[in-house]
Amino acid sequence: MSQSPGDLLDKLRAETPLVQCITNYVAMSVTANVLLAAGASPAMVADAEEAGEFARIAGALTVNIGTLSKPMLEGARAAIDGAHSVGRPWVLDPVACQATAFRARASADLSGLKPAIIRANASEILSLAGEASQGQGVDGRDGVDAAEEAARRLARDTGAVIAVTGREDYVTNGARALRIGGGSHWMTLNTAMGCALTGLCGAFAAVAEDPFDATVGALALFGVAGTRTHESASGPGGFGWRFIDTLHGVMPAALDYEAEISEAGTIAA
């Protein structure tokens, strides 16, 4: 990595990048609070009337299809066009793309629009790569290891960095791969945590030279904050607000020291 997670966190807090988040109704508040705690400036601008114009002034764009609709897709496409026109990265979160034909089509179409990063659970990655998954509704029921080969293939097909998140995250650009540990089982009982992580990937992408480094940095920060928060939380409710405080308190040098990052083995050409 040319920029460590700590390097990127330091840069993020120095620059306070503007991140346009087209996300679902459930996730807006959580995502905004996570980005603010990390040091970024979130903006939930989604309507097609202004989304493309706004994307041209944002540092990065994130698109989450959790509450999918035709107007939301129109806004997303306008924003993606705007981001591309000024060379800004954008991040895709294909929520529950295995659940319905509408979601599958939308996710496939969006993944073809050159996202810099795709962040999803294993069931979503398997589905997006054209494979069967055990996902039910918005719940991913496949292990991260089951989606690793699909992630590598999807990275090569789309040109995006793929982040498969779960108990231990897997990140690949098709040529190399890393695993990121940390976190807490309470995270799965707090709504919109994954969606907020997608937003954080966008914040890191806004300041990174390489989307691979950005993805690893965002996941590492989430993992460290989750591990620290777990020590003081006794349940999911207490975990939620403590997580925001803890994430805000992670310093760049500590992030590099505490991040659980390891090589994921050699990828065959």
Structural domains of the chain in order of their starting residue, each with its CATH number: 5-263 (3.40.1190.20)
How far apart (Å, rounded) are the C-alpha atoms in residues 201 and 19?
Answer: 10
Tokens 């890191």 locate to 204
Q: How far apart are the first and last CA of the chain?
A: 20
Q: State both tokens at 218.
A: 């965002």
Query: Which tokens belong to 264?
Result: 């994921």
Cβ burial 232-257 (10 Å sphere, 16+ → b, else e) = ebeeeeebbebbbebbeebebeebbe
Which of 58, 152, 77, 143 minimizes the C-alpha distance to 115?
Answer: 77
- Cβ proximity of 202 and 161 under 8 Å: no
Contact indicator for 68, 93 with CB cutoff of 8 Å? no
Q: What is the pLDDT of residue 139?
A: 62
Under a CB-based contact definition with an 8 Å cutoff, are residues 215 and 201 in contact? yes
Put the strands of the sheet holding 41-43 in their side by side order: 41-43, 18-22, 60-64, 90-93, 117-120, 161-164, 169-172, 177-180, 261-263
Task: Give the residues across from 64 on adjacent strands.
Answer: 93
- Rounded distance between C-alpha atoms, residue 223 and residue 204, angstroms: 15
Rounded Cα–Cα distance for residues 193 and 27 (Å) = 8
- What CA–CA distance (Å, rounded) separates 161 from 172? 6
Q: What is the pLDDT along the chain (269 residues), one digit of tens a residue?
A: 799 999 999 999 999 999 999 999 999 999 999 999 999 999 999 999 999 999 999 999 999 999 999 999 999 999 999 999 999 999 999 999 999 999 999 999 999 999 999 999 999 999 999 987 765 555 657 889 999 999 999 999 999 999 999 999 999 999 999 999 999 999 999 999 999 999 999 999 999 999 999 999 999 999 999 999 999 999 999 999 999 999 999 999 999 999 999 998 756 55
Q: Give me the amino acid identity at 153.
A: R
Predicted local confidence at residue 6, as pLDDT: 98
Contact, 16 vs 39, CB < 8 A? yes
What pLDDT is attached to residue 137?
A: 56
Q: Residue 140 has what pLDDT? A: 59
**3-class state of residue 160 by DSSP:** coil
Interior CA angle at 37 toward 185 and 123, to 5°?
40
pLDDT value at residue 134: 66
CA 145 to CA 39: how far, in whole Å? 32
Nearest to 40 by CA among 84, 81, 112, 91: 91
Q: What is the pLDDT of residue 132?
A: 75
pLDDT of residue 267: 65
